[in-house]
Amino acid sequence: MIVDSLLQRLPKPVRQSVDEFTEAAQVAAHIRDPRVLRSLGPSAARGLLLKRGKQGVPNQMHSGHTAHFDWTYPHDNPEMAMLYKRAKQGQWDADDLPWHIDVDPENPEVPLLPESFFNIELAEKYAGKLSPKERTRFIHSMSAWMLSQFLHGEQGALMASAQVTEAVRFFDGKLYGATQVMDEARHVEVYLRYLESKLGRLYQVNDNLFTIIDAVMTDSRWDMKFLGMQIMVEGLALGAFSTLHNVTAEPLLKELLKMVIRDEARHVHYGVVALQQHITGELSESERNEREDWAFEVSMLMRNRFMMYEVYDEWFSHCMTRAQWRECVLAAPGLELFRSRMFSRLVPNLRDIGLLSERIMPAYESVGLMRYFDGASARELDEDTLLAA
């Protein structure tokens, strides 16, 4: 409270910088395991403080992983071989989506997102009344922000799936992995095309998403790449995509998301199969604990910190504080549904791969995520269930 009132007295640009720095410091202060801090700290500095994803220039991320060759070509994992077969049969061409549909992002008759998705009334308390036109423009901004983050996540998935295809030890996994690289390229294609040709805008990468992608790309350990991308980012994306699929009234977006969700279901399934054996059978207790802590910290990054500041900067930075904006985001019913759906997908997967032991359960309990513990993991969910959920 005292900090808040002090912040209010500072000039606005200074106040904003202090708030950003405080948030970054909170991320670092939260991390207890020094190994996790070593892994996430440099990425958090690049993402949250230096804002490397927002400089308007390409980023170089050094990856020191090892390419794993096997000249005996073992048939070493029937479940991955089955996923490879399903992936070959499930390939689709982005050109076949109904791109002829005329999308008007500001048409209230066919909303990209329902107005109830965000708590606009709370935002109006701080910012003053929005006209009906401003409301639809705001929904347009929020939808474009979400889809932009999906696109940025897909670029991360494209690079990470190429890396894990090189690094994975299962030969059946390499063949499967090649199909995922193609899937992710298609996902980049469809989200970019939708944003460019239908919504007419593209938001910069969110600092927290950049941090997670940077950490995954620069960690040379193959299982950390799997954990970060195949379980955490993909698992959360699957929840986010299915929420949006269920609430949007725009038919092209609905069809696009349906096709992407079908692919993503295979990707998370692959991550669970690849990691379960490795984490529960091959790692030492200390190594497993490190991964368990890392997964919890990344969960927190995702749960608390996708605050849509890029939308705030565009709409409300002149009339409300970042703290007031956070209050609006946390009170938004649709975003709460997003978070709930995302973690109902993620937590059972962490359980199945052995990263939700009794040691870490109190931490998940303290942030209200243990209620998802008994849910179905990616292995038990087929595409139709995911689409219906």
Site of interaction with Fe ion (CB under 5 A): 154, 157, 184, 187, 234, 264, 267
* Nearest residue (CB) to Fe ion, 157 versus 328: 157
Q: How many residues does the chain have?
A: 389
* Nearest residue (CB) to Fe ion, 267 versus 322: 267
Min dist CB 177 to Fe ion, Å, is 11
Q: Are 139 and 115 in contact (CB under 8 A)?
A: yes
Indicate the residue type of 327. E
Min dist CB 26 to Fe ion, Å, is 30
Q: Are 325 and 307 in contact (CB under 8 A)?
A: yes
Question: Using alpha carbons only, what angle is made at residue 331 by residues 327 and 335, rounded to the nearest 5 degrees?
Answer: 115
Min dist CB 291 to Fe ion, Å, is 20
Indicate the residue type of 163. Q
- Please choose, from the candidates 211, 167, 158, the residue with its C-alpha nearest in 3D space to the C-alpha of residue 185: 158
211, burial (CB in 10 Å: exposed 0-12, middle 13-18, buried 19+)? buried
Q: How far apart are CA 203 and CA 270, in angstroms?
A: 30
Q: How far apart are CA 159 and CA 152, in angstroms?
A: 11
* Nearest residue (CB) to Fe ion, 227 versus 363: 227
Min dist CB 192 to Fe ion, Å, is 12
91, burial (CB in 10 Å: exposed 0-12, middle 13-18, buried 19+)? exposed
* Nearest residue (CB) to Fe ion, 179 versus 248: 179
Show Cβ contacts of residue 308 under 8 Å, excluding neighbours closer than 6 positions: 142, 145, 206, 329
* Nearest residue (CB) to Fe ion, 16 versus 180: 180
Min dist CB 158 to Fe ion, Å, is 8
Min dist CB 249 to Fe ion, Å, is 23
Q: How far apart are CA 41 and CA 87, in angstroms?
A: 36
From first CA to last CA, the distance across the chain in angstroms is 40
* Nearest residue (CB) to Fe ion, 117 versus 241: 241
Min dist CB 343 to Fe ion, Å, is 18
Min dist CB 264 to Fe ion, Å, is 5
* Nearest residue (CB) to Fe ion, 181 versus 311: 181
Show Cβ contacts of residue 63 under 8 Å, excluding neighbours closer than 6 positions: 163, 217, 218, 220
* Nearest residue (CB) to Fe ion, 127 versus 253: 253
